[in-house]
């Protein structure tokens, strides 16, 4: 069983749109629906669990029905933090699925992850036990403890930007969460699932992500996402045009 856990429990205050950013409509469709459709249409994904703000559960369920997202098994209330929201969804998945199921943890506002990246995440879990989606950094990264002075500059070829999904066997990621939650500090400084498993001495294995797999957090990200959608639509239209020309006995452009 391959399960997508899509967490979208944030309030989206940085977006300034008046609604949580995951429900902001882009090209006539909420961002979270763009995201969910990627997993809905992937033939290796069997189920989807969604974690959202409790007040938005009825609306999320309406969207599930409207867009015929029939792989969605349940909509779960989120928690105080992103990791709490993920944990809630993981526990729900645990109650309904085998412990050796593969879970792909994905941010609801990353609506452009490629089909191949999802497939490669599943294969990496099967072969290595987990998958952390990353892309090589193009810009130089600087380390600063106070935000004013440069403490160190790592080699660019050794730096990568973490994306999503991050994927695991269900039993393994729940065990790591349980261990962290049993400590006094719980999720303090635990920015993602990779941080959580590494805190338990588990080796994390990287999968290369796609450059368009942005996290829509700011108004600038909305413009980027719109441009990516337009590019994809133009690319598909161009491919269809070539197919039609060949079908009509004409040479490609």
8-state DSSP, 223: H
**Gap between the Cα atoms of 75 and 55, Å rounded:** 12
CA-based diameter of the chain, in Å? 71
> pLDDT tens for residues 108-125?
999 999 999 999 999 999
Rounded mean pLDDT of 40-57?
96
pLDDT for position 221: 87
Centroid of chain to Cα 124: 16
Provide the pLDDT confidence category of residue 253 given band limits of 50, 70 and 90. Answer: very low
Q: How many CA atoms lie within 13 A of 15 on its CB side?
A: 20
CB neighbours of 20 closer than 8 A, spacing ≥ 6? 8, 10, 11, 12, 53, 56
Q: Per-residue pLDDT tens for 151-177?
A: 999 999 999 999 999 999 999 999 999
pLDDT one-digit tens code per residue, 28-44: 899 999 999 999 999 99
**What SS3 class is residue 87?**
helix
Query: Are 53 and 78 spatial neighbours (Cβ–Cβ below 8 Å)?
Result: yes
| CATH 2.70.98.40 is right for the domain spanning 2-217 | no
The whole-number pLDDT of residue 41 equals 97
Per-residue pLDDT for 59 more than 80? Answer: yes
pLDDT category, 92, cuts 50, 70, 90? very high
Mean pLDDT on 78-88: 92
User: Where residue 85 falls among pLDDT bands split at 50, 70, 90?
Assistant: very high
Query: Which residues make Cβ contacts (< 8 Å) with residue 208, sequence separation at least 6?
Result: 117, 120, 133, 134, 135, 136
pLDDT for the residue numbered 107: 95
What is the average pLDDT value for the chain, to the nearest integer? 90
- The end-to-end CA distance of the chain, in Å, is 44
């Amino acid at each position: 069983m391959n399960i997508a856990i899509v967490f979208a429990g944030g309030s989206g205050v940085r977006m300034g749109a008046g609604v949580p950013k995951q429900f902001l409509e882009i090209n006539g469709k909420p961002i979270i629906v763009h995201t969910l459709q990627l997993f809905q249409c992937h033939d290796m994904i069997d189920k989807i669990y969604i974690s959202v703000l409790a007040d938005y559960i009825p609306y999320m369920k309406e969207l599930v029905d409207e867009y015929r997202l029939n792989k969605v098994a349940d909509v779960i209330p989120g928690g105080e933090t992103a990791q709490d929201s993920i944990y809630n969804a993981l526990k729900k998945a645990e109650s309904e699925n085998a412990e050796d199921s593969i879970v792909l943890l994905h941010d609801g506002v990353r609506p452009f992850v490629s089909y191949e990246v999802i497939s490669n995440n599943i294969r990496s879990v099967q072969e290595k036990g987990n998958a952390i989606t990353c892309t090589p950094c193009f810009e130089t990264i600087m380390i600063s403890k106070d935000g004013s002075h440069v403490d160190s500059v790592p080699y660019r070829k050794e730096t990568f930007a973490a994306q999503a999904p991050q994927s695991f066997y269900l039993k393994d990621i729940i065990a790591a969460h349980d261990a962290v939650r049993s400590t006094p500090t719980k999720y303090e400084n635990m920015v993602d699932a990779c941080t959580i498993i590494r805190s338990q001495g588990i080796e994390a294995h990287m999968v290369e992500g796609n450059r368009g797999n942005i996290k829509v957090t700011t108004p600038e990200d909305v413009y980027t996402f719109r441009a990516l959608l337009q590019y994809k639509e133009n690319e598909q239209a161009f491919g269809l045009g070539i197919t039609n020309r060949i079908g009509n006995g004409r040479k490609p452009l």
